[in-house]
Amino acid sequence: MDDYIAISLLNDFIFCPYSIYLHNVYMESDESQYHAAPQTMGRIAHKTVDEKKTTNGKGDLVSVSVCSDEFRIFGKIDLYRYSSKTLIERKYQLKNIFRGQIYQLWAQYYCLCEMGIKVEKLAFYEISTNKMIPVQLPGANDREEFVSFLCMVRKYNPSSDININVNKCRHCIYCNLCDKNRIENVYI
């Protein structure tokens, strides 16, 4: 499983590929060194799912590990409702839905399909507003895009140059620990 990709890293890769390298470097460290308010709120919001304390229908899947040998990805789903055959990814707040978040949902979808679970609907659930946001199932072109993206993730080399995006860097939890920029983090 050396080349399997964690689903949780897909959005991070789009934000900044180097952040995944930094995450691996600092993952054994105290999170208070780099976690900011948004990550703390996200972790708290996810706690009910991770501890399987969320309200769900009988037999729904909550915080279940998933894997796809075809795509060589693994992770966890937040919630799958059998009654509506809906895969739901919970987020504390969604001002925008980023492509990486869509990739995460697609990855979970592909894993469930490979595991023989029928998924007919995808959605994000915004906890802060109690709002369900439907997402279209991926089509053939989306699948090609997803496969291409996974290839790009696998080929990434952390020693290569990165494009510095000042706005992204300022909001990166690893900003003050990053050796590729000299930008101050907004969370200080």
Return d(Cα 130, Cα 91) in angstroms, integer.
Answer: 10
Tokens 């200080």, located at residue: 188
Please list the alpha-helical segments (H only) found in the chain: 9-15, 17-26, 37-50, 99-114, 140-155, 166-170
**C-beta neighbour count of 8 within 10 angstroms:** 13
The whole-number pLDDT of residue 36 equals 52
Q: Which stretches of the chain score pLDDT less than 50?
A: 34-35, 39-41, 46, 50
Spatial separation of the C-alpha atoms in residues 129 and 79, rounded to whole Å = 18
The pLDDT of residue 146 is 98
pLDDT of residue 160: 82
pLDDT, residue 119, reads 98
Q: What angle do CA 104, 154, 80 make, to 5 degrees?
A: 20
Predicted local confidence at residue 27, as pLDDT: 66
Angle between helices 140-155 and 99-114 (to 10 degrees): 110
User: Mean pLDDT in the chain?
Assistant: 83
Predicted local distance difference test score (pLDDT) of residue 168: 73
Q: How far apart are CA 167 and CA 106, in angstroms?
A: 27
Q: How many residues does the chain have?
A: 188
Contact 88, 19 (CB under 8 A): no
Closest CA to 17 of 186, 174, 188, 185: 174
175 residue type, one letter: C
Query: Structure pTM?
Result: 0.79
Region of 150 (left: φ > 0; alpha: ψ -120 to 50; beta: rest) is alpha
Query: Looking at residue 19, what is its pLDDT?
Result: 81
| CB neighbour class for 173 (10 Å; exposed up to 12, middle 13-18, buried from 19) | buried
